[in-house]
A and B are shown apart, each in its own frame.
Chain A
Amino acid sequence: SQQGEEDPQALSIQEGENATMNCSYKTSINNLQWYRQNSGRGLVHLILIRSNEREKHSGRLRVTLDTSKKSSSLLITASRAADTASYFCATALFGSKIIFGSGTRLSIRP
Chain B
Amino acid sequence: KAGVTQTPRYLIKTRGQQVTLSCSPISGHRSVSWYQQTPGQGLQFLFEYFSETQRNKGNFPGRFSGRQFSNSRSEMNVSTLELGDSALYLCASSLGRDESTEAFFGQGTRLTVV
Contact = CB atoms under 8 A, between A and B. Distances in A.
Given A43-B105, A45-B103, A48-B100, A98 B45 contact: yes
Nearest to B55: A96
Contacts of A43: 90, 92, 105
Per DSSP, chain B at the interface is strand
Interface string A45-61: 10010100000000000
A42 B105 contact: yes
Interface in A83-110: 88, 92-103
Given A2-B42, A33-B102, A42-B106, A96 B4 contact: no
Interface of B: 4, 31, 33, 35, 42-43, 45, 48, 50, 55-56, 58, 88, 90, 92, 96, 98-100, 102-108, 110
